[in-house]
Amino acid sequence: MARVHFVSAHFGGEVPWTPRLHSSRHDISLSYYHDKNTPSRHLSMHPRFKSKIPKMLEWKFIESEWYVWMDSSIKPLPNIDLADEVLKIAGDNPLCLFLHSKGNTIREEAYRTLAMLKQNHQYFNVRYRGEPIKEQLIHYYGDPQFVDNKLFSTNFFAYHRSASYLMQEWFSEVVEWSLQCQISLPYVLHRSGLKYSLFDGYTNIRNKYFIWDWRNREKNLSPIKTI
């Protein structure tokens, strides 16, 4: 039996739903952060940035062996022991990830983000408008040790407490560069040399773990006003 802590967050609007989790094999817990139980800091922190704190730093606040991040777009399937599935896939590795369905490199993801911003795409605009995506890519490519051959989806992942230093490094990259954390994760992971496992399938395509219901999630986000 392992201690597995699930964490999710939804800031900037009403909570769309509450995840339902169960396990007969492991000791599980859930933290779901939202505007009603977490100070808003609306004058100093973008709601999308605010969610990065529990996403990457939950190990600072909750004691557990394993941590599983789920975006508020994730609906676990009802008849699955998600904690047990995560641990079986992880095996002896301290990190478990989904591959990205739309690319294999951070270069592709950066170009896709920039193209969507140029098209004034609403989903990308409210998250990444004004972020130094191009400069971030140039910075990473300036590292002669970096090999750009991985891209992960970051709306669902799991890590062992021993990998908390990687989460701290990842958070630091988001602070220094951009909210587009799918660009920074492969870089910090490459530098760490940490071994990882891969879930079957993709987060945004039907899989055996959960449903990615981003459309209903988006309906519960308030428009972000800019000055």
1-23 pLDDT per residue, tens: 999 999 999 998 889 889 999 99
Q: How many domains are contained in the chain?
A: 1
* pLDDT score recorded for residue 223: 56
Confidence of residue 186 (pLDDT cuts 50, 70, 90): very high
Domain of residue 93, residue span:
3-101+150-175+194-219
In a domain, 127, yes or no: no
Question: Is there a domain that residue 184 lies in?
Answer: no
**E strand or H helix that includes residue 42:** none
Lowest mean pLDDT among 107-116, 127-136, 192-201, 216-225: 216-225
Percent with pLDDT over 90 in the chain: 84
Two structure tokens written together for 34: 């939202």
| Interval 19-44 mean pLDDT | 93
Strands 27-34 and 95-99: unpaired
- Give CA–CA dist 152/136, Å, rounded: 17
Task: Tell me the whole-structure pTM to 2 decimals.
Answer: 0.94
- Cβ neighbours for 199, distance < 8 A, ≥ 6 positions apart: 89, 96, 97, 98, 156, 207, 209
Quote the CA–CA distance of 39 and 160 in Å, as a whole number: 28
Helix axis angle, 181-192 relative to 164-176, nearest 10°?
130
pLDDT mean across residues, the chain:
94
CA distance 139 to 142: 5
Residue 167 maps to a domain: yes
Q: What is the mean pLDDT of residues 195-213?
A: 95
Domain-located, residue 129: no
Distance CA 131, CA 125 (A): 10
Number of helical (H) and strand (E) elements in the chain, helices listed first: 9, 8
Percentage above 70 pLDDT, the chain? 97
Residue 35 lies in a domain: yes
Q: Return the CATH number at 28.
A: 3.90.550
Q: Which amino acid is at 4?
A: V
